[in-house]
Amino acid sequence: MSRQPATAPRRTGRLLLALVTRLHAYIGLFVAPFMLVAALSGIAYVLTPSLEAWLYRDALNGVQGGTAQPLALQVEVAQRALSTGDMPAVVRPAPHPGGTTRVMFASAELGPSQHRALFIDPVSLEIKGDMPVYGTSGVLPLRTTIDLFHRELLMGDIGRYYSELAASWLWVAAFGGLALWLQRRRALRAQQGPAALRRRHATLGMVAALGLVFFSITGLTWSQWAGGNIAELRHAWGWGTPSVTTQLPEAVPQAHDAHGEHGEHSHAQAPDAGVSLADFDLALSAARTAGIDAALLQIEPPRSADRAWRVVEIDRSWPTQVDQVALHPQTMAVIDRTDFTTFPLAAKLTRWGIDLHMGVLFGLPNQLALAAMAGCLVVLVCWGYTMWWRRLRAARHRSRETLSEIFVALPWGARLGVLMTAVALGLALPVLGASLALFAVVDVLRWRSDRRREPRLA
């Protein structure tokens, strides 16, 4: 009787470790293929910027010398090329001498977050390219295709379940593997020959664990279901990323009459907003005066008469420049602004985490580090399947312990804790919860099948 209290906690600990081991094996068997696809496509994505710069060099580069023409003329050239009087949705001035300006138009033929971009040489006003671009980073068609494959297998919203499944389980696999390594590190060090593969798998997983958890957390922010929960949580805790409002107030402090300087340069107007092409130059000048000094920025004209201009820095390298200003359409006075230096720490960490995940924060070193980390995941998956195949051949006539068998052997308190944890994770990460329920169904069926076979085997 005296030994029971001392041995019960140890037995519970062993059972919980067995539960983690079996769950880790299920993740490796059923979810690892999705992780493998995400890792390989992620490697392709982060290593393509240099290839993209070469592939689209004609569109990205213009005349090296000379004086840049006003943005009004550059936008007008783009409008004439498309035979439209519509205002562009976004204009991105050439970021450096010899670069091109992107005049980006909304198009019903393109997908969400995509624009048709005309690349204008600011010196010669020659159209250097015409292609769709995607997202705030304005990636070009090659990386857009890889990005969409990475996120949704080119299948739309249905395909997003694959990436959310991989991201939802990756952190569980990483922490579970780390727990197993901590418990078995002494035994692993003694393994030699074919068994040494388990030691190498465990050691590499321990080394890569932090990076894999980072991939998981940042990937979930883009996911369809968990991403919505994360966004609500950030909003509730005041961790949202600040952004300017473009809604015009009832009264705005009067500034100088900006239109007095450009009355003769007025061109086509937006149907409702009363915007002239020359306002693009005025908005750029007013934003520069207000401290928007990044080389990479975009100018968004008002969408309607009650909206303001919005000028946004989009340089997400280091140091991060993502300040914004909203400008009154008549006076070009600043009516709202956000500065990255004043962002809450959580918002800054979110911004840096996403940019690290995309490989833009530190440029090439960031890209190489991401490729190496994703490569570790590829190796871990391949080693995991090799170990599974070896175990399958060595134990083809023996029954393996199931999750259900381990679970019913746990004390009631531990069972309740496991159930509550599973329910909480399922609510927070719905795709993880649904797949865990499927694991449980398969495991119960397997457990019952093994129990029916036991008398015959005996």
Residue 239 scores a pLDDT above 50? yes
Q: What is the pLDDT of residues 316-325, one digit of tens each?
A: 999 999 999 9
3-state secondary structure 328-390: CCCCCCEEEEECHHHCCHHHHHHHHHHHHHHCCCCCHHHHHHHHHHHHHHHHHHHHHHHHHHH
Which run of H or E residues covers position 220?
helix 196-220
Closest CA to 335 of 403, 277, 272, 287: 287
User: What pLDDT is recorded for position 237?
Assistant: 82
SS3 237: coil
- Fill in the DSSP letter of residue 30: I
SS3 112: coil
Backbone φ, ψ for residue 322 (5° rounding): -135, 35
- CB-based contact 178:205 (threshold 8 Å): yes
Tell me the β-bridge partners of 134.
Answer: 114, 139
User: What pLDDT is recorded for position 396?
Assistant: 58
SS3 208: helix
User: What pLDDT is recorded for position 189?
Assistant: 83
Q: What is the pLDDT of residues 94-130, one digit of tens each?
A: 999 999 999 999 998 888 889 999 999 999 999 999 9
The pTM of the full predicted model, rounded to 2 decimals, is 0.87
Residue 273 scores a pLDDT above 80? no
CA distance 223 to 219: 7
Burial bucket for residue 329 (CB in 10 Å: 0-12, 13-18, 19+):
buried
* Mean pLDDT of all residues in 340-355: 92
Residue 458 binned pLDDT confidence (cut-offs 50, 70, 90): very low
Question: Which of the residue ranges 56-70, 262-276, 327-341 would you say has the lowest mean pLDDT?
Answer: 262-276
* Mean pLDDT of all residues in 198-215: 95
Name the residue with higher pLDDT: 325 or 253. 325
CA distance 42 to 155: 17
Kindly list the domain boundaries of the chain, sorted by start residue: 4-47+154-234+364-438, 59-139, 242-342
Residue 260 scores a pLDDT above 60? no
